[in-house]
């Protein structure tokens, strides 16, 4: 659930500090309903890859590009 991923999922614990800056108790009303919380939530999702199909940061899952000569 949203609540689990934002508040307690171990997969994203290293990125949760981003959310704590906007809401010390990770309150969903603050994180999803107030400007500062929304900005923090967007950064959390982009940085952690939470809610993505692979559950990882997009940059981590992209294949390296080959340089053209």
Average pLDDT, whole number, for the chain?
Answer: 85
State residue 63's pLDDT score.
54
Please give the distance of CA 56 from its chain centroid, rounded to a whole number.
9
State residue 53's pLDDT score.
77
Neighbours of 32 (CB within 10 A): 13
Taking the C-alpha atoms of residue 69 and residue 67, their distance in angstroms, rounded to an integer, is 7
What proportion of the chain, given as a percentage, has pLDDT over 70?
A: 78
At residue 62 the predicted structure's pLDDT band, cuts being 50, 70 and 90, is low
Residue 8: HSE in the Cβ half-sphere, 13 Å Cα cutoff: 3
At residue 64 the predicted structure's pLDDT band, cuts being 50, 70 and 90, is low
> pTM for the complete prediction?
0.75
CB 28 within 8 A of CB 2: yes
């Amino acid at each position: 659930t949203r609540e689990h991923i934002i508040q307690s999922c171990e997969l994203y614990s290293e990125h949760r500090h981003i959310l704590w800056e906007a809401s010390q108790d990770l309150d969903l009303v603050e994180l999803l309903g107030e400007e500062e919380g929304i900005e923090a939530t967007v950064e959390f999702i982009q940085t952690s890859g939470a809610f993505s199909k692979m559950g990882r940061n997009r940059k981590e899952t992209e294949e390296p590009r080959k340089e053209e000569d």
